[in-house]
Amino acid sequence: MKIEAVNGDITGLQVDAIVNAANQALVGGGGVDGAIHRAAGAAELHQACAAIGYCHPGDAVATPGFRLPAKWIMHTVGPVWRGGDHNEAAILESCYRRSIAAAEELQAKSVAFPAISTGVYGYPPDQAARIAVDTLRSIDSSVVERCLLVAFDETTFRIYISLLDLLS
Ligand code: AR6
């Protein structure tokens, strides 16, 4: 898989699937979740999420993208940061793995990820970015060809760029 860093709004990206940083109840919220609901069409997406009902932290579930350019949305639930010794890293790694697995099931070749857990859930951005890059680098997918790490702020973008440069 090719891994790239992008700075901007994930909802406008022309990819097969975008990942949503959702909550366990899949009821929508602020941050990227709110932006995705607005752009996809809140009524349709709420209905699709309600039909699924729940997502365990570290897991991912798929809905259509409705009015998004992306065909699919993978809703994943990141860990709430509680100091780092509550299994946060393993849960965050699982979010990336399970989102790619869901993309593979749907034959999505390109997947865009927000910086899961680094907003409301409080995960330190540098540590989260390292997990994102290391985890995606370790996946050998025969379906997904391209992963975009989408930063919504300049600091996160620079962290992604430096990690990708160091590892490539
Ligand atoms: N495009 C790309 N990234 C974005 C966008 C966007 N349009 N908007 C925000 N971000 P957060 P979390 C970045 O808080 O920490 C919700 O209420 C943002 O700058 O969206 O996993 C859910 O319902 C940050 O870097 O997600 C949950 O309750 C990153 O996305 C809870 O927040 C993640 O920030 C999940 O919290």
What pTM, to 2 d.p., does this model score? 0.98
Amino acid at 47: Q
* Distance, CA of 100 to CA of 7 (rounded, Å): 21
Catalytic residue (choose from 9, 33, 85, 134): 33
Largest CA distance in the chain: 43
Q: How do residues 117-166 score in pLDDT, each as one tens digit?
A: 999 999 999 999 999 999 999 999 999 999 999 999 999 999 999 999 85
Q: Which residues pair with 5 in a beta bridge?
A: 149
What lies within 8 Å, CB to CB, of 153 at 6+ separation is: none
Question: With b meaning 16 or more CB within 10 Å and e meaning fewer, what string describes 10-22?
Answer: bbebebbbbbbbb
The CA dihedral of 63, 54, 128, 113, to the nearest 10 degrees, is 0
Q: How many CB atoms lie within 10 A of CB 69?
A: 13
CA 149 to centroid of ligand 1, rounded, Å: 13
Active site residue 140: no
- Provide the pLDDT for residue 165: 85
Residues within a 6 A CB radius of ligand 1: 9-11, 21-23, 29-33, 35, 78, 114-121, 150, 152-153, 156
- For residue 65, what are the domain limits? 2-167
- Provide the pLDDT for residue 166: 58
- Provide the pLDDT for residue 102: 98
- The pLDDT of 99-122, averaged and rounded, is 98
CATH code for position 23: 3.40.220.10
CA 163 to centroid of ligand 1, rounded, Å: 21
Q: How do residues 9-43 score in pLDDT, each as one tens digit?
A: 999 999 999 999 999 999 999 999 999 999 999 99
CA 29 to centroid of ligand 1, rounded, Å: 9
Q: How many domains does the chain have?
A: 1
- The pLDDT of 38-53, averaged and rounded, is 98
Nearest alpha-carbon partner for 116 in 40, 36, 54: 36
